[in-house]
Structure 1
């Protein structure tokens, strides 16, 4: 069976240079020798068998368990090499039947939806706050940054992201803003301090709720920014002037898209503006990545625009603007991965070595999706009335410049103390 994995790699790896050494010490090199050499070792023969039988799940598991190590290159390099070489014709029989089983399982789950939203959120976002402090920016933005202009730092890019979103929201002083999926509070506090608005943030993460409330209290914003443990589906409130949601929509799921936008329509003032920021992919997925589903984001789902836009239309809302950001998340994830790996010993002290490798695989696989699989970020500006926003984009840049002046008046962000 080990030879079956090697045979699969001989078929797949046409370009590049990949050397594999088995547990028996036998080495073989694949590819045409181009590019940077990549070299890895299996520490037990069973690892090769497992990967051949179910590569989508077992490659990540074997790496996480420390049974696959690299002598040259890293796990991102391997994933990128495989993806840049693989064609549909390269799929093996085990890959095909595993894929068919997963498609069937995904269809069954669609017919039998179970609400595990809070549990799924807790699986990822209720991890130790100290973990996220290892690799996020100073404001704990756990979503795609905006690298405009190119080459700016992660902290600058995350600030540019908040500024870009605020410019599209066009909030006026004194208006009421709802943030669906408020994270650690950075976006809500930014809007309150730069736009002089009243913000209500809702989350399903108890850990994020605790941190965001403490941050708002420390900055003296408790009277302008409130955070609640609240599911958007059961929220009851008067309509808001603005609604913003950044990096939360990936947890809604296609069966709930119409419900999400219907609720947004109910919560949005007739002259209101909504800004939705989400990961997208170029086509509707047949099923979720099995490693990510099992270990990272259970219940997560990356939509295509073809799935999202009909739900918006059927809710009575209008898409006023759509902006595609194709590579910004790839850059963001590269920063996160490099920062995380630079402090991997601290992460291991929080959890263990298996967790560190699991998290590295997650960050590397996510980055590869943007660099090699055409994933992207979309920002949808949504309204109820066509003329609630200008009929061109000329207003965005001036508003961003005005926000920069307000940013200079903000007190500096303080380090979160655990």
Structure 2
């Protein structure tokens, strides 16, 4: 029964390229006209047809992790490119639409993140071995989208460019009090203290990040100007000249958007500026992949612009700039994957083969979601006052233009 249902699903989906599937009983069937890319999959577990029909993301992801679904030449990228392109073109068949509707209905429950649950969700991902992240991130441990201002940039250069771009949007001046919400391992906070003279408070719910960030600040001789607290953003008190948040809003959850932006408004001085950098979707609201929710980012969700803007509008905040980065994260993930795979033996020594396959699947699927499935990065600049930032965006690029002019004159 379930093999037949999977056969119907694949017949509906694959309208270009070709996918060959060997079922648990040894039967092989081909889907698609044969033009373009091709891939071959073997299902070794009799339960996989049912699991894939009920939840393709979960069934395929778990099957690949467990080794019960194998791909020709282990070309998971080729398989996912073919699958994502066909799914985007065809949409779900009628018999899967009720299941997708149920998944969307429960998304508010999936994204309900009170403090205790937020702390557990953060620990699931960010309290892994620090050595793991050293194996694929840049030297400054930026675990968010880099900014490839030039296509030939290294990852280190692109991450530095990202921080400089954000600092310019914040119009940082020496002595300003800055709050870094979801501070990670301290890269942005340390940069703002060291290079711009800011006094930074960073908050995180990850004990691993909290410890490493403070140790990094101490090694840099910046403990008097930047400190990192193990604290939920909702518990922060005081007033700040600037608020920055990079890659944290994806963990807030739609039920808490009003509380999040209400906290930003409460903590921001009347003349202050905030910059919120987050992954979103260039399409209507949806739901997070169940595989991602279970194994990678519990409670996570990448919102549509309409969901975030609506919450901002309900607070005492003015949106002063919105910037959309399209393929920058795809390029970032491509480099993370390259480094991860180059160090796969060291990852295996830290964890096991299943973990390696899980993270390889995560990195590749995430890159392809940005390339093929309308996922982007938003930067929302906001303030309490309309005149808190210049009237044009020239200030963001003036230094670059001046440098080019000096070079031409020389």
Deviation at 1:61, TM superposition (A): 0.8
Q: Tell me what 1:407 maps to.
A: none
Does residue 319 of structure 1 match 2:319? yes
Deviation at 1:400, TM superposition (A): 5.9
**Could you say what secondary structure the match of 1:148 adopts?**
coil
**Could you say what secondary structure the match of 1:100 adopts?**
helix
Deviation at 1:181, TM superposition (A): 0.6
Residues 123-173 of structure 1: per-residue CA shift (max 9 Å, x gap): 111111111111111111000010111231111111111111111111011
**Could you say what secondary structure the match of 1:395 adopts?**
helix
**What stretches of structure 2 of length at least 5 have no aligned partner?**
404-410
Deviation at 1:112, TM superposition (A): 10
Residues 246-290 of structure 1: per-residue CA shift (max 9 Å, x gap): 000111111111111111112111111111101111244343211
Q: Tell me what 1:137 maps to.
A: 138
CA distance in 2, matches of 1:77, 1:27: 19
Deviation at 1:375, TM superposition (A): 1.0
**Counterpart mapping for 1:37-48 below 5 A:** 37-48=38-49
CA distance in 1, matches of 2:187, 2:110: 34
CA distance in 2, matches of 1:346, 1:95: 40
**Could you say what secondary structure the match of 1:82 adopts?**
helix
**Counterpart mapping for 1:356-367 below 5 A:** 356-367=356-367
CA distance in 2, matches of 1:361, 1:98: 24
Residues 355-402 of structure 1: per-residue CA shift (max 9 Å, x gap): 111112221221122111111111111111111111111111134689
Q: 1:43–1:347: structure 2 CA closer, same or farther, 3 Å change rule?
A: same
**Counterpart mapping for 1:248-287 below 5 A:** 248-287=248-287
Deviation at 1:293, TM superposition (A): 1.0
Deviates most, 257-266 or 79-88: 79-88
Indicate conservation of the 8 Å contact 2:243/2:268, yes or no.
yes
Deviation at 1:114, TM superposition (A): 7.9
What is the TM-score when the length of structure 2 is the normalising length?
A: 0.92
Instruction: Return structure 1 stretches of 4+ with deviation > 4 angstroms.
Output: 87-90, 107-115, 399-403
Q: Tell me what 1:191 maps to.
A: 192
Deviates most, 159-168 or 94-103: 94-103
Q: 1:229–1:114: structure 2 CA closer, same or farther, 3 Å change rule?
A: closer
Q: Tell me what 2:373 maps to.
A: 373
Q: Tell me what 1:351 maps to.
A: 351
RMSD over aligned Cα atoms:
2.3
**What stretches of structure 1 of length at least 5 have no aligned partner?**
404-418
Deviates most, 373-382 or 30-39: 30-39
**Could you say what secondary structure the match of 1:255 adopts?**
helix
Q: 1:374–1:109: structure 2 CA closer, same or farther, 3 Å change rule?
A: closer
Q: 1:273–1:400: structure 2 CA closer, same or farther, 3 Å change rule?
A: farther
Deviation at 1:206, TM superposition (A): 0.3
Q: 1:401–1:88: structure 2 CA closer, same or farther, 3 Å change rule?
A: closer
Q: Tell me what 1:295 maps to.
A: 295
Deviation at 1:88, TM superposition (A): 7.8
Q: Tell me what 1:50 maps to.
A: 51
What is the TM-score when the length of structure 1 is the normalising length?
A: 0.90
**Could you say what secondary structure the match of 1:269 adopts?**
strand
Residues 34-69 of structure 1: per-residue CA shift (max 9 Å, x gap): 334322322333323422332131111111111112
Residues 309-329 of structure 1: per-residue CA shift (max 9 Å, x gap): 122122111111111111111
Indicate conservation of the 8 Å contact 1:265/1:316, yes or no.
yes
Indicate conservation of the 8 Å contact 1:41/1:69, yes or no.
yes
Indicate conservation of the 8 Å contact 1:124/1:296, yes or no.
yes
Deviation at 1:25, TM superposition (A): 4.3
Residues 167-206 of structure 1: per-residue CA shift (max 9 Å, x gap): 1111011111110010001111111111111111111100
**Counterpart mapping for 1:54-203 below 5 A:** 54-72=55-73, 74-86=75-87, 91-92=92-93, 95-107=96-108, 115-203=116-204
Indicate conservation of the 8 Å contact 2:337/2:363, yes or no.
yes
Does residue 210 of structure 1 match 2:180? no
**Could you say what secondary structure the match of 1:379 adopts?**
strand
Q: Tell me what 1:9 maps to.
A: 10
Deviation at 1:6, TM superposition (A): 3.0
CA distance in 2, matches of 1:346, 1:183: 23
